[in-house]
Amino acid sequence: MTTKKQLKRALLAVSVSLASFTPFAFADYTIFHNAKGYTLKQDKGVHEFSTLVIKDGKVIATGDKSIISTYSPAEKIDVEGKTLLPGLIDAHGHIIGLGKNQSQLDLRSSSSLKDALKSIEEYANQTDGWVIGRGWNQENWPSKAFPTAKDLDAIVGDRPVALTRVDGHALWVNSKALEIAGINKETQAPSGGEIIRLDNGEPSGILIDNAEPLVYQHMPSVDKTEVNKRLDAAGEHLLSLGITSAHDAGIDNLTYQVYLERAANNTLPIRIYAMLSATDSELTKQLAAGKKFDDNDMLAIRSIKVYSDGALGSRGAALLEDYQDRIGHKGLMLMSKDELENVFTQAFKAGFSVNTHAIGDRANRVVLDTYEKVYAKSGGKLLRNRMEHAQIVEPSDIKRFKQLAIIPSMQPVHATSDMHMAEDRLGKARLTGAYAWQTFLKQGSRVAAGSDFPVELANAFHGLYAAVSRQDKDGAPKGGWLAEEKLTREQALRAFTLDAAYAAHQEFKIGSLEKGKWADFIIVDTNYFKAPLSDIYHTQVEQTWLAGELKYQQK
């Protein structure tokens, strides 16, 4: 028999349970209010709001506080007057490479050869097998000279060392790595590559562009487990920076398989627009398998990535005239005109867009010519094809981007990282048409912005700052470098949101907080539109929401 005392205790337990139960489990809507919200709208400029309403992961409405009562039952979240922006889209990065960087030697901060060698030696003492790293940049060293195998031999001579330049277009190796790869005085560089030589003709230890695989093919292979690990590490890092979607510029077949599996299991950490690699041995099969999408718009594979030339820092970018600081050298075309035509034709016939890396003015011209020629034979102009980087463009060729419907996919931080080096390579007179974001916009081209991580840091606010200031983080040079190419704050945000989405055929799904789109947004500690310019660079992301779910919370 139940006593009155037992019944009283039971009723008390029920009341406590109900008191702690959240009614939001039955909420139809989630309402974020008291926000300084900003989003861009298709061809309508900046829209400000204080209230964001979402349901089932998508935007229902934005407006002022008067709309709150319209939607119930609802979970209400007070943004406390902080700034709310659409999730940022990085239109050019290397996701698995970023994840790899999280766990390997990073030489980005090396201020001299001596400094780099110290870091390499410390890292080597803690590891076995190949010593692998990335990030060195001789342009940041007093000598500005390429390092050599001999430099590495002095600290690690008994096992191979392979260190990728920050831009990915040069490899620094020691003598052991040269020996394993069979590279010696007689070795000829492959087409589109260069083996830098010493005065006596011996390989110096620096391999440029298409010569890099001579060593890469001997390095330890990677399996699916490692790719998944790198994907998770990259995703976690990108979400902490407010990046909800990234365009992965060239994936190998193993990554292709991992992405498809993760999308099928709905475990991708961020939205990914992946470009197949034009040089992958499985490209023909991948194209035949058709374009790939998932129901949650977490993965899209509908384009290929082509490399036409190298990079400016390693003097591999293909120029119309000689490098000012290396007379007789015009850089490297990594594919012939026939090879470019063939791969463009193959992609267009399969309905895939072609996104082509082109940095130098010669590469940009050759690629524009190729698009034009293949369009005439095979069509493909409506596929939203892109030029990745488009850094140095001969001014008369800029208008051809609009005529040929080519999207310039550009990285604002490249301009502020490269400004001193670019003048050394080209001279001031040849910089008209360099990093020409505003010129592209004025003619009606859409600029899709990114960072090219891990070449640069993945922080999109560094890119937004560079876009509107054309200055380094210390505010130099005064007024900005080639200041006529600055973007407004609205233009810069559009390049990192709506126009980046457009470049992936996704402008009606993501890129802005408009009704029916996925609720991808961030809450930050800086009012992007009203804060002093320098504050943009230092913006911190406090929360990142993807499809209405909190994916990152600042600790």
- The confidence score (pLDDT) of residue 6 equals 44
What is d(CA 379, CA 349) in angstroms, rounded to the nearest whole number? Answer: 8
Q: Which two tokens stand for residue 307?
A: 């490399």
Average pLDDT over residues 244-256: 98
Q: Which two tokens stand for residue 364?
A: 């940009």
Query: Do the beta carbons of residue 35 and residue 67 sit within 8 Å?
Result: no
List C-alpha distances in Å: 70 to 37, 49, 63, 64, 368. Answer: 19, 16, 11, 12, 52
Q: Which two tokens stand for residue 344?
A: 């463009």
- The confidence score (pLDDT) of residue 432 equals 94
Using a 10 angstrom Cβ sphere, with 0-12 exposed, 13-18 middle and 19 or more buried, the burial of residue 328 is exposed
pLDDT exceeds 80 at position 53: yes
pLDDT band at 42 (very low <50, low <70, confident <90, very high): confident
Cα-Cα end-to-end distance for the chain: 52
pLDDT exceeds 70 at position 169: yes
- The confidence score (pLDDT) of residue 332 equals 96
What is d(CA 394, CA 409) in angstroms, rounded to the nearest whole number? Answer: 17
- The confidence score (pLDDT) of residue 284 equals 98
- The confidence score (pLDDT) of residue 165 equals 95
Average pLDDT over residues 373-384: 97
Query: Do the beta carbons of residue 330 and residue 362 sit within 8 Å?
Result: yes
Dump pLDDT digits (tens) for 75-106.
999 999 999 999 999 999 999 999 998 888 99
Query: Do the beta carbons of residue 356 and residue 388 sit within 8 Å?
Result: yes
Place of tokens 């589109």: 192
- The confidence score (pLDDT) of residue 26 equals 62
High-pLDDT (> 90) share of the chain, % = 93
What's the DSSP call for residue 323?
Answer: B
Using a 10 angstrom Cβ sphere, with 0-12 exposed, 13-18 middle and 19 or more buried, the burial of residue 511 is buried
Q: Which residues pair with 434 in a beta bridge?
A: 392
What is d(CA 409, CA 452) in angstroms, rounded to the nearest whole number? Answer: 10
What is d(CA 74, CA 61) in angstroms, rounded to the nearest whole number? Answer: 13
Task: State the DSSP H helix or E strand holding residue 161, giving kind and residue range, or none if neither.
Answer: strand 161-165
Mean pLDDT over all residues of the chain? 94
What's the DSSP call for residue 212?
Answer: T
Dump pLDDT digits (tens) for 400-411.
999 999 999 999
Dump pLDDT digits (tens) for 275-296.
999 999 999 999 999 999 999 9
pLDDT band at 43 (very low <50, low <70, confident <90, very high): confident
Average pLDDT over residues 144-173: 96
Query: Do the beta carbons of residue 71 and residue 51 sit within 8 Å?
Result: no
User: Of residues 12 and 304, which shows the higher confidence score?
Assistant: 304
3-state secondary structure of 281: coil
pLDDT exceeds 80 at position 30: yes
Average pLDDT over residues 479-491: 97
- The confidence score (pLDDT) of residue 27 equals 80
Torsion angle of C-alpha atoms 29, 90, 447, 415, degrees rounded to 10: 140
- The confidence score (pLDDT) of residue 102 equals 84
pLDDT exceeds 80 at position 108: yes
pLDDT exceeds 90 at position 21: no
